[in-house]
Copies of this chain bind each other. A is one copy, B any other.
Amino acid sequence: MAVAKAARVSASTVSRTYNHPELVKASTRRKIDNAVRRLGYIRNRAAQTIHGIRSGTIGLVVPTIDHAIFAELIQSFSEAIDRFGFTILLATHGYDLQREYALVRKMLEHRVDGVALIGLEHADETFSLIERQAIPSILLWNHADQSLLPCVGTNNFQAGKLIGAHVVDQGHRDIALIFPPLEGNDRASQRYGGVQTAIESAGLEVPENWNLKAPYSVSGAKEAAASILQGKRFPTAIICGNDVQAWGALNAASRFGLAIPEDISVTGIGDFKGSKDLEPALTTVRIPARQIGKQAATTIARA
């Protein structure tokens, strides 16, 4: 190796200077340091990794980053994992669980020291892959006691039920729903289930044309809400699957000149950082993204 040559020592000694400096004489260390600096040498982790030494990376595979939903989570996960000396290998699958499988495979090719995925629902191959490779893993954002793999997150069914019950308790009888597409998204599915459960157990029902699926974006939800508000009959409450869509609905209500919460109530479910500052205020269930990220990082780094 070049540095060893330049410092006139063996490769072993260079290696030791990095990994067990106390075993090498101060003067030798200085020689090596100089050579390192002179040549601009940077250790090659790949070469370490094939020795079975950990790669120092954690694979993080998320559906998407740009909806601000996961951004906060990724940020806190990244910060926390960094403190353990790991770096994140990041990839997005766009709610396609087959792609997720392929991405996890790719992560394993890179010999990540662990994988973190969003949600509890994944392709069977993904589960068996993780199991066979015996790679530390963690599922984020959603929580269930009987999960196959370790998970940290909230119980989204409960969150949905909570918000549904809250709206019903406020006396609303005409309720509309705006949710994202549910396939491949167990978080949304469970929230939806929770909301429906709460509504049904109050003996209510959501009419077909008030039960909408809209794209996971402010504008998508705004359009959906507008289509509801255009009708001659109005709901008195719109329950949205998440804060981004709630924000869209809020904007639509403003556009129609409706006062919140006098004329209409809009609720979200809290995966959105800015929600607490919205005017008019949004009723929402907070989900502690930062805590989830931090806790997850700790769990997987210790594995």
A residues contacting B by CB (< 8 A) are: 40, 42-47, 49-50, 55-57, 60, 64-68, 71-72, 74-76, 78-79, 82, 87-92, 105-111, 129, 132-133, 217-219, 222, 244, 247-248, 250-251, 254-255, 273-274, 276-280
List the B side residues contacting A276 at CB < 8 Å: 219
CB of A292, distance to nearest CB on chain B (Å): 13
Q: Which of B43, B50, B89, B250 is within 8 Å of A87, CB to CB?
A: B89
Q: When chains A and B are docked, how far (Å) is the Cα of A72 from the Cα of B66?
A: 4
Q: When chains A and B are docked, how far (Å) is the Cα of A219 from the Cα of B273?
A: 10
Q: Which of B55, B89, B273 is within 8 Å of A66, CB to CB?
A: B273
CB of A168, distance to nearest CB on chain B (Å): 28
What are 24 A-B interface contacts by the 8 Å CB criterion?
Answer: A45-B46, A46-B46, A46-B55, A46-B111, A57-B110, A65-B65, A65-B72, A65-B74, A66-B72, A68-B68, A68-B273, A78-B90, A79-B92, A87-B89, A87-B91, A88-B89, A88-B90, A217-B273, A217-B274, A219-B276, A250-B279, A251-B277, A251-B278, A255-B279
List the B side residues contacting A64 at CB < 8 Å: 75
Q: When chains A and B are docked, how far (Å) is the Cα of A46 from the Cα of B111?
A: 7
Cβ-closest 6 pairs across A and B = A66-B75, A46-B49, A254-B279, A218-B274, A71-B71, A46-B46
